[in-house]
Amino acid sequence: QVQLQESGPGQVKPSETLSLTCTVSGGPIDSYYWSWVRQPPGGGLEWIGYAYHSGSAKYNPSLKSRVNISVDRSKKQFSLSLNSVTAADTAVYYCATDARTGTTDGFDVWGQGTLVTVSS
Amino acid sequence: EIVLTQSPASLALSPGERATLSCRASQSVSTYLAWYRQKPGQAPRLLIYGASNRASGIPARFSGSGSGTDFTLTINSLEPEDFAVYYCQHNTNWPSFGQGTKVEIK
């Protein structure tokens, strides 16, 4: 079954770019929409966006101007880039997918999450 | 933008009791509604999709109902691992989550 693992820096300076990678194992990268979801400390879940292997992507309108999600099929990875970060971007970042249907109707596969702190 | 509002914000119950959680959408989402349980320090786990379908490996004590704008997650006979935070999520336009309901031990 599909498994996901996030990687990337645990701390980013204000105004810089947050970059994370999610490695896919146990299944094809060509079949699903690959999402990022974040959760601030003590807060709720926020969907950031998704990318498809073809290169198409969709983003949360509230973050759209700062986000890019891309897929590297050769490495079986997908990546998140969030620029101009502030303390409000401090959160646990999860990669996730709906491996049941290949849509976004219900995320049944999640990475373990990685905490990113925005601080100088 | 479709907003999901969950109620109550928190719920205090004893093991073995039934929990009834509500999720209301600001516009119809048909049956494109999922429920998750999140234990402290863990990623969310999908419980219900399509408003009423249990995900793989989810026990029968979890059931979902509703369509349009009003949805319910029922947990019959709470187990110790069920004391957690529950989120609903829709997939109309883009995925969006409710703010969560915390089920606490009474």
Q: Mind listing the pLDDT tens digit for each residue in B65-87?
A: 999 999 999 999 999 999 999 99
Peptide bond into B15 cis (omega under 30): no
Asked whether A6 and A35 are in contact (CB, 8 A), the reply is: no
CA angle A1–A110–A87, rounded 5-degree value? 160
**CA of B2 vs chain A CAs: smallest distance (Å):** 12
Q: What pLDDT score was predicted for residue B93?
A: 86
Pairing of strands B85-90, B101-105: antiparallel
Distance CA A9, CA A95 (A): 15
Chain B: residue whose CA lies nearest to A108: B46
Which chain B residues have any C-beta within 8 angstroms of a chain A C-beta?
A: 1, 32, 34, 36, 43-46, 48-50, 55-56, 87, 89, 91, 94-100
Q: Which residues contact A42 (CB under 8 A, 6 or more apart)?
A: none
Distance CA B35, CA B52 (A): 9
The structure tokens 């369509």 sit at: B67
Strand partners, A64: none
Chain B: residue whose CA lies nearest to A114: B43
Question: Which amino acid, one-letter code, is at B76?
Answer: N
Q: How many helices (H) and strands (E) does chain A have?
A: 0, 11
**CA of A75 vs chain B CAs: smallest distance (Å):** 24
**Chain mean pLDDT for chain A:** 95
Tens of pLDDT, residue by residue over B8-62, are 999 999 999 999 999 999 999 999 999 999 999 999 999 999 999 999 999 999 9
